[in-house]
Amino acid sequence: MRGSSICPNRTSFRGWYNGLRPWLLAAAGVLCLAAPAMAVDPNRAMSQYVRDRWGTESGFPKGAVYDIAQTADGYLWFGTEKGLVRFDGTSFQLIRDSNSNLTVGHVLGLMGDRDGGLWVRLRRPTLLRYKDGRFENVMAALGRRTSTVTAMGRMQDGALLVWVLEGEGSAIKYEGNRFETQVTTTGLSRSPVMSVSETTPGTIWIGTRDAGLFRLQRGKAEAVAEGLPDPKINCLLSTREGQLWVGTDNGIAHWDGHKLVTAKLPVFPAPVRALALTRDRDENIWVGTNAQGLIRLNAHGVSLLDDVSKHSFEAVTAVFEDREGNIWMGSASGVERLRDSVFVTYGEPEGLPSENSGPVFPESAGRTWFAPVDGGLYKLENGKVSAVQAEGLGRDVVYSIGGAPGELWVGRQRGGLTGLRVERGVLTAKTYTKANGLAQNSVYAVHRGRDGSVWAGTLSGGVSHLEHGRFTNFKVTDGLASNTVSSILEGADGTMWFATPQGLSALVQGRWRTFSKKDGLPSESVSSLAEDANGVLWIGTSAGLAYYRGGRIQKVAGDYAALKEPILGLAIDQRGSLWLSGSNRVLRVQCGLLLKGAPPAEALREFGWADGLHSVEGVKRHRSVAADPDGRIWFSMNRGLSVVDPVRQTIVSAPSIAHIQSLAADGAAVALGNPARVPARRQRITFGFVGLSLSVPERVRFRYALDGFDRGWSEPTPAHEAVYTNLGPGPYRFRVIASNVDGVWNGNEATLKFEIEPAVWQTWWFRLCGAALLILMIVALYRLRLMQLTGQLNMRFEERLAERTRIAQDLHDTLLQGFLSASMQLHVAADTLPDESPAKTRLERILKLMSQVIEEGRNAVQGLRSQRSEIHDLDQAFSRIQQELGIQEDINFRVIVQGRPQSMHPILRDEVYRIGREAVVNAFRHAQARSIEVELEYTAKQFRFLVRDDGCGIDPHVLKQGREGHWGLPGMRERAEWIGAKLHVYSSPTAGTEVELSVPNHIAFGGKRTGRTKD
């Protein structure tokens, strides 16, 4: 959480200038670090930094801050009175050691090592190393359990250097997971060592509490007292060049490699008591003091963070520069951050007469002209602001400023057009009004052409062209779109462009052309113009941005909502980017990417308060955005003048480091293991993560993906958490990457492996048991169904058997008995007739026929009343067919039995026999075969009956439809279908005929399984 808004802090941040300007200028020649004096540079002093603060209201623990450090993983650490505090850019966390019995209290010193660990120096005789979430007490590894580490520093090679109080003390180096004693001193004062540092290999400096400064070389201690402001050394700072800065209770000293020199700082209300020192990447020395706040020293002099004449400040007890170049300082009330801003903004604290600016014209690299909205013309040169009073400019409102180096033209609200020249430091001015031929005295837009002539666009009188001392005026009647001109631009091809509320007008070789909405303009109210190096004319209107290329105007295509709002000012930098201000935006547009239709995230960059702007609201004036000769872009804003150097924007910020900080299941925290284990039946899985970019953390964006669930990366999001619901059990891997403040994505991703434990019904053994149970249920249901079918079939067989028995009884008791009675009576009648009677011969034929019918009837009745004793004799029954048919031909006939014969239901056996008998009889009578073979096969799955012969085969037409008047094949098929069997007949003229009947086991044998043997 931010401790305070940027704008109020920025205002107070520059307050030093107004209050201290008189004596700082006087002290410019007093400051001396070696011999020459350094001049104070109030223009650059502290205005380039953005200041933010965090206190207890922002979650920072109450208590003094003693030290600040950063580890390789990007986290910022604070050693405080309450313990060790970690900061990820958005929140603070007080670290507690839950994995050991160590307690972390007052943290006096912090230092990050090259292995990614953090060294923690406590008030008591304990030195801790924190890594991977665990604390380690390293005093045992030093072999000095009772010794005390009183100071920590860094060696020139980056290794950790600690001072251990044992005897007279030792300097010990830590590198490669081992400790190495560098120096064991002799002859050193008993005063406690407060700080330690190395300047050159083998040269170690120690600062004591009350005995001064010592240099240790070859095991000997040498006191260095000359030039030391005070014997109490609070902090030491060594540089890469082998120099040393010394902070004492009474000032700062500098060792240049040969001697110690006291830095003569300006006179403060109290002596400068230096408590902390650091040097940033720009060679600035930052000093945390007891009563003067934060001080910066550099080649330009001394700069103060706050106005000490108006405020009393807490002691700055810790100063640190992080990997992104931010300066952090700690005090008893919290921490503050100074961040190098993209924009430098000038306002009233820097000497501007008003925060509300109008037009701006950077004439040269060191001189910028501007005009406040409420009147007057001012010059900002070398950090100083001065007013121009010539020609009554101080009493008039300036609408527009233009010109060239050494020549300035000013359009005024009431006073016409004024030209200013500076020659040998002397300012001369000349004003042109309507009396001199100017179209109107209210001049809103001024442009000096490349030929030296001047164009003046008026508020309602058209355009005036001043050339060779004479004016030429153009109005609507001459072809101008409107008599009100808001902006003027000369194109590279010599075309003069005029922006008006009624469209865009162009003057080419004396001919006028006007463009309106029908020609592609988003709006006919055109406010600003700019042309890039490729000749593309960019047009700002009240309805957004357009461009003129290839002879026609085009609107900006694509999803660029920010470019479809009112635009007030435009300018092109040396790298071809377009800078614009709107009613509530400041944007940089990559023109090439925009014309190619690149996504807004790539083509646009928006700036705001966090970038050093005091306001994002532009002003409606001609040339409210302009480029200076050095390529910097100046913005006239609702609050102050802001300037940005586009070259600095090409320096990509440090990559953001992504970290997964938490895992929660239905709101309950889950320990981050490898892998983490999520309990079963959790419906909502939440991942918490951060992207460690401490400059502007709110601009960090994230992409994440869950392997095994997501198809790819998510869309960029500023949210610091991802939520998944209803994930199934099993292993997963969550990945996240982060972008920095410039939108550059870090290729290194943070990953977390985790596993969702299955519920009981999701375990493999439960599923296996369930599958086995399901199979058993299916088998049981199948067998039950077979039993039902077998029972139904048996019932049908019994019913048919009963029916056949009844029919047999009826045939025997009625028809056969009747035939027998009739036959007997006919025999009697025949016996009574004489032998020569013609009727007797007829009666004998009738008796013979009736005898044949009675015999056939008896056979039918016998067939209907099958005997149980013949159940196992199917093979014998088939074997007797040849004899029953009385066929004596030489035909090879045999019956083969495969498997163990099983009992069948009588009805089923009879039907099988009838089907088989029909097949065998047909083979004997019609096949003309030399060999007939019958095979009975009993298996566990079915009963199979096969009749094959090598005869002449069956005609295909007969095989398919049967022979007219014969019912052999159709009858066989009907019987097979009735008993639930399958009948197949195969026939070929060259291979003979094969009849196959297969009956399923549950039908043939009532579902009984049989072993299989072979006869």
Q: pLDDT at position 735, please?
A: 95
User: b vs e for 523-560, b when ≥16 Cβ sit within 10 Å of the residue's Cβ?
Assistant: bbbbbbbbbbeeebbbbbbbbbbbbbeeeebbbbeeeb
Q: pLDDT at position 870, please?
A: 44
What burial class does residue 652 get, using C-beta atoms within 10 Å of its C-beta: 0-12 exposed, 13-18 middle, 19+ buried? exposed
Q: pLDDT at position 75, please?
A: 94
Alpha-carbon gap, residue 117 to 763, rounded angstroms: 41
Alpha-carbon gap, residue 234 to 290, rounded angstroms: 11
Residue type, 567: I
Residue type, 344: V
Cβ–Cβ < 8 Å for 485, 475: no
Q: Residue for token digits 């085969």?
A: 953
Residue type, 607: F
Q: pLDDT at position 966, please?
A: 55
Alpha-carbon gap, residue 405 to 421, rounded angstroms: 9
Q: pLDDT at position 2, please?
A: 30
Q: Is 106 helix (H, G, I), strand (E, B) or coil?
A: coil
Alpha-carbon gap, residue 73 to 91, rounded angstroms: 16
Q: pLDDT at position 1012, please?
A: 37
Alpha-carbon gap, residue 531 to 554, rounded angstroms: 15
Alpha-carbon gap, residue 625 to 396, rounded angstroms: 22
Q: pLDDT at position 23, please?
A: 32
Taking CA 508 as the corner, what is the angle to CA 432 and CA 625, rounded to the nearest 5 degrees? 60
Cβ–Cβ < 8 Å for 811, 805: no
Residue type, 649: Q
**Tell me: the pLDDT tens digits for 816-867?**
677 777 777 778 787 787 877 888 778 878 877 777 777 767 666 665 554 4
**Tell me: the pLDDT tens digits for 281-326?**
888 899 999 888 899 888 777 888 876 665 667 899 999 999 988 9
Cβ–Cβ < 8 Å for 274, 251: yes
Sequence-distant (6+) residues with CB within 8 A of 969 are 958, 959, 962, 985
Q: pLDDT at position 16, please?
A: 34
Residue 13 has φ and ψ, to the nearest 5°, of -65, -35
**How many alpha carbons fall within 13 Å on the CB side of residue 684?**
8
Sequence-distant (6+) residues with CB within 8 A of 443 are 399, 400, 411, 412, 416, 417, 456, 457, 458, 459
Percent of the chain whose pLDDT exceeds 70: 87
Q: Is 934 helix (H, G, I), strand (E, B) or coil?
A: strand
Alpha-carbon gap, residue 260 to 283, rounded angstroms: 19
Tokens matching residue 997: 């009947």
Strands (E), 209-299: 213-217, 220-224, 233-238, 244-248, 251-255, 260-263, 274-279, 285-289, 294-298
pTM attached to this predicted model: 0.69
What burial class does residue 311 get, using C-beta atoms within 10 Å of its C-beta: 0-12 exposed, 13-18 middle, 19+ buried? exposed
Alpha-carbon gap, residue 256 to 405, rounded angstroms: 44
DSSP string, 715-737: PPB--SEEEEESPPSEEEEEEEE
Q: pLDDT at position 20, please?
A: 34
Taking CA 529 as the corner, what is the angle to CA 528 and CA 535, rounded to the nearest 5 degrees? 165
* Segments in the chain below pLDDT 70: 1-48, 98-104, 140-147, 166-168, 185-189, 266-270, 307-312, 365, 649-652, 797, 801, 809, 812-813, 816, 856, 858-872, 888, 961-967, 1006-1015
